[in-house]
């Protein structure tokens, strides 16, 4: 969750794979016990809605071609970060990437468990601001539905899950140290939702980025040490059983005073017109 390309400043948290020249700058030290950053290993059965985005043609096959994360919010619908779908990352418009897939039900990316589902279409939020990072979300529509039980609900505007101090968990296969040590097994980190005021102080619009409470939510620890990192972009931030955020941007990984910034899912719900789907569980959101 950071800005677009440089983690040591503030940039989106995509995977800096050898196949793509994504400059990382000099990474800052980050507290870690060998997982997400300051996190722990988790089996995907505990969070079946957490999926990996994959392109072996672009990122190689060692880690199933993973480069970003995503979250299943409908049987055939995955939310991810808009910056994951940029040409800077993919090398071409997403519609031209023939092997773009979603990997579901796979804890260890070195294995072939679970399933790989082709992406039928990609919708990137036209209001996404790649400079300020506002509106950082995209919708992937899958060629076939995921198994039952792989979908998580979304938190709408005003949901108490967004309140400062709420316990939350972020999931991903990204950098576990802040120094480019990418995990091949799913990790999670426990964080807390932070107040908008604290995030505005951390990112007031200087070189570290600008926090916008309308489209962003931030989470982490005041002392640092627990955070998402490169490769986790688009993955879910979950609180009270609902997804409240998508890994987007920030400054460094696990730095004190530099919390992670997430796309506010309620803003995506409103933009996409999915409010009715939240009120009626029999009508899950399906594509755009």
Active site residues: 83, 136, 233
- DSSP codes, 198-252: HHHHH-EEETTEE--TTTEEEEE-TT------TT-TT-EEEETTEEEEEEEE-BS
| Residues 261, 212: Cα–Cα separation, whole Å | 10
Torsion, CA 180, CA 183, CA 187, CA 191, rounded to 10: 0
From first CA to last CA, the distance across the chain in angstroms is: 24
Is the CB of residue 111 less than 8 Å from the CB of residue 52? no
Q: Which two tokens stand for residue 159?
A: 């949901």
Is the CB of residue 257 less than 8 Å from the CB of residue 145? no
- DSSP codes, 40-51: EE--GGGSTTEE
* Neighbour count for residue 61 (Cβ, 10 Å): 11
3-state helix, strand, coil in the chain (%, to 5): 15, 30, 55
Q: Which two tokens stand for residue 137?
A: 């979300």
Is the CB of residue 163 less than 8 Å from the CB of residue 157? no
Q: Which two tokens stand for residue 181?
A: 């040590």
Which distant-in-sequence residues (6+ apart) come within 8 Å of 282 by Cβ? Answer: none
Q: Torsions phi, psi of 109, nearest 5?
A: -70, -15
């Amino acid at each position: 969750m950071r800005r677009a390309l440089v983690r040591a400043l503030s940039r989106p948290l995509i995977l800096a794979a050898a196949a793509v020249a994504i400059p990382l700058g000099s990474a800052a030290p980050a507290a870690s016990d060998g997982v997400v950053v300051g996190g722990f290993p988790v089996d995907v059965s505990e969070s079946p809605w957490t999926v990996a985005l994959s392109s072996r043609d672009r990122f190689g096959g060692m880690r199933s071609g993973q480069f970003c994360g995503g979250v299943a919010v409908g049987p055939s619908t995955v939310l991810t970060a808009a910056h994951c779908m940029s040409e800077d990352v993919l090398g071409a418009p997403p519609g031209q990437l023939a092997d773009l897939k979603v990997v579901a039900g796979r804890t260890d990316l070195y294995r072939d468990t679970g399933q790989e589902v082709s992406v039928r279409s990609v919708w990137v939020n036209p209001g996404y601001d790649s400079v300020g990072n506002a509106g950082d979300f995209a919708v992937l529509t899958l060629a076939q539905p995921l198994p039952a039980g792989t979908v998580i609900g979304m938190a709408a505007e005003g949901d108490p899950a967004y309140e400062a101090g709420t316990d939350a968990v972020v999931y991903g296969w990204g950098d576990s140290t802040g120094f480019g040590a990418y995990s091949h097994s799913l990790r999670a980190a426990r964080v807390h939702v932070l107040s908008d005021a604290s995030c505005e102080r951390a990112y007031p619009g200087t070189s570290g980025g600008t926090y916008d409470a309308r489209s962003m939510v931030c989470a982490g620890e005041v002392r640092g040490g627990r955070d998402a990192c490169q490769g986790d972009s688009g993955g879910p931030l979950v609180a009270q059983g609902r997804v409240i955020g998508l890994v987007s941007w920030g400054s460094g990984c696990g730095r004190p005073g530099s919390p992670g910034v997430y796309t506010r899912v309620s803003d995506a719900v409103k933009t996409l017109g999915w409010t009715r789907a939240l009120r009626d569980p029999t009508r899950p959101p399906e594509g755009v």
